[in-house]
Amino acid sequence: MIRKMVTICAVAAATAVPGAAVEAAVDEAEAGESAAIDEIVVTGRASQLYRVEETASGKMPTEPLASSQSITVITEQLIEDQGARDAQDLYRNISGVSVFSYAGVTARGFRQQENFYDGLRGDPYIGFAVPQLFNIERVEFLKGPAGMLYGQSAPGGLFNYVTKKPSQTFAGSVKIVGGTGDRYGGQVEATGPVNDVISLRGGAFFEDRDLPRTHAGNKSLLLDGGATVDLGIAKFTAQIWRIEQDLAANRLRGIAVDADGHFLADRRWNHNEPSDFLKLRSTAFQGKLELDPADNLHVDLTARRIDATETQKYHEPITLLDRNRDGRFDAVARQYRDQLRDSSIWSFGGNAVWSARFSENVSNRVLAGFDYSTDDGVSLASQLTGRATPAAGLPCPLDFVNPVYEACDPAKYAMPAQTRTTSKTRRHGFYVLNELTVGRLIAVAGIRTDSFEDISFAANGTRTGFKGSDETYRLGLVWRVRDDVSLFTQYATSFEPQSASAQDPRAGGPFAPTTGDMIEGGIKTALLGGRVQSSLSVYRIKRQNLLQSDPRGDPEGDGINNMIAFGEVTSKGFDLDVAADLTDNWVLTLTYAFNDTRITKDNGRTPPANSVPNGRFANAPKAKLGFWSRYQIPDTGLALALGGDYVSKRISLSNQPVNAYFIFDGSVTWTRGPWDVRLRVDNIFDKTYAASGFNDRGGHFPGEPRSAFVEVGYRF
């Protein structure tokens, strides 16, 4: 009896689940009582809260200490505890990653815009929408060039979003949220078995709130469903996602700044009219087949179809104005843009992992795979540029200090006919990687070959395009100094095809892809029985073959200035990531990155894209610090959390200073049985700051002012 009561207390303290689940756990514990040990260890909720046992972005499940790659994994529990809604809420948790603009980030000094889902190219959030996290189980960021595994990619790294799948374990939750900015919404999700073979998942998320910028708002709906059939030797999972986003008074640019990087208008100022908008409608279907034809062979095949349409009508800042001629800009002339982008995306991929153990100390794994993706797009666009003074049928200028909205009516603009552009993108690659383990040494070597084709058709039928191929490589070495300490190093390469618009033969095209390579080394730990996971890496990345203007201008005399592929950018730095259970009730994540990205070779005429004349890359901070600490007060159900995000001074695309900032967020969570109540406050001290820079007319993107929300959840 005493043993049963102790077991009940231990299970209840560790899981904080309803009585039925506790009783089930007790039954299981009693069933194995004959093999039980005499001592029962009770751990708090913090234990293993944010740590991970394996990563999948290397396309072979790998223990972090056994990988030569630097991969940051953001767990579902961390996403939930931080109340994160979209990808931008997570960047503090990844060393070396900061906001660039919209869904784009700066990673290890380089701009990165492409997202992968379940290891496949193809993003349902096309264009300028930011990925939502409702149906995401975890987020993995693979640092450095990932060309050998994923093909075309920026050298700073890439995001892989792992979606939630149906489970044979029944679970579900309902949440409602309300907060500042007239924020309200809710979500429901459930998963569980139909029988021993079939399991289902379904969920819905809705949220509506005003954004800090004048007239701006965000209304999001996400529907998620899936079914899994598991026959043991084979498992098939089918999923469907429906995404609808209505962003009022968007698409948002920044706010103009002075020579010291200070805003010329209130941070809530918006260059858009109340009638402006951005709308996304996206549907994704995904199927994944997993096979285990032998004990040492695993095969998976995945296919995904995305149909997405993004519609935008907005006012773009086009020319800064000094109307009273005092040397300070006080208004902006605007351009009205009417745009539609339609994308049909197919993604296919397959992997086979064969493993063998030759002796107690020697084993080997081989990864072989392929991927293929297509993106057929149609874009319609028209634009109308206003003047410095109001004129009938044209966009009005807008004052920074005393903006007058609706002074002109977009419905009465004399818009030109829309221009239609059709584009086709094709990517396919094959790769092989071998991982050999001899004692405490792990060596990996991989090669990939890619083919690509980009074609664009203008309204007049003009065809612009280019196709080519490239190879990428990866070499890595891990030494398990101890079971809880590893030293690692790797060499990896990447490539990025030049844009189709840059391949015009009259401009000197076609051009070979931009390439990158990295040398990296570091140490990983899982100290104190695995309670402290850490990774420290030092790297050097070089990016070559960037397009710049030809100093000769137009040597052929065909009316189009030439481009040349020349130049080099070098990124150097180090990253530190820590996830620690400081006590049974206190957990901490800490990230720090130092980076120095500079142009190390150019043509002396024009800098490469995303760089400025002083040799620095835009929005590439030298230092970035992020932390999140959560303390569970024993025996109360209360948890207190505090997070911080520091980004050092940067420069914008127009060589304007983007000043450093340090902001803090916090939360209080109360848990009682299946109930959770969370109060979250962002930017506690209401600091005015720029999250990133753009250009002089587009300004800097202001960070959000202080906001708060309360979320009430019930788990079943």
Query: Euclidean distance between the first and final Cα of the chain, in Å?
Result: 28
User: Over 70: is that where the pLDDT of 16 sits?
Assistant: no
- Give the separation between CA 42 and CA 13, rounded to whole angstroms: 7
Taking CB atoms within 8 Å and a gap of at least 24, the contacts of 463-468 are 464/500, 464/501, 464/503, 464/504, 465/424, 465/500, 465/503, 466/497, 466/498, 466/500, 466/503, 466/509, 466/510, 466/511, 467/426, 468/497, 468/510, 468/512, 468/513
Dmax over CA atoms of the chain, in Å, equals 95
Q: Work out the pLDDT band at 25, boundaries 50, 70, 90.
A: very low
Contacting residues for 108 by C-beta, under 8 A, at least 6 apart: 96, 143, 144, 155, 156, 157, 539, 541, 571, 573, 575, 593, 595, 597
Is the predicted pLDDT of residue 20 greater than 70, yes or no? no
Distance CA 685, CA 663 (A): 7
Q: How confident is the model at residue 613 (pLDDT cuts 50, 70, 90)?
A: low
Across the range 126-146, mean pLDDT stands at 90
Residue linked to tokens 């995306």:
345
Q: Of 129, 345, 167, 160, which is closest to residue 243 (Cα–Cα)?
A: 129
Taking CA atoms, 549 is separated from 298, 561, 563, 570, in Å, by: 49, 8, 5, 20
For strands 700-702 and 707-715, give the pairing. unpaired
- pLDDT tens-digit map of 489-542: 999 999 988 876 667 777 777 788 889 999 999 999 999 988 899 999 999 999
- Does the pLDDT at position 154 exceed 90? no
pLDDT at 116 over 80: yes
What is the per-residue pLDDT for 605?
62
Instruction: Tell me which range, 120-134, 192-206, 559-573, 597-611, is most confidently predicted by mean pLDDT.
Output: 192-206
Q: Distances in Å between the alpha carbon of 306 and those of 223, 239, 339, 344? A: 14, 12, 20, 6
pLDDT by residue (tens digit) across 364-393? Answer: 999 999 999 999 999 999 999 999 999 999
- Average pLDDT value for the chain: 88
Q: What is the pLDDT averaged over residues 170-174?
A: 97
**Residue 241: what pLDDT?**
97
- Split at pLDDT 50, 70, 90, the class of 66 is very high
pLDDT of 34:
36
Give 451-478 pLDDT, tens digit per residue.
999 888 877 777 777 888 999 999 999 9
Confidence of residue 99 (pLDDT cuts 50, 70, 90): confident
Confidence tier at 92 by pLDDT (50, 70, 90): confident
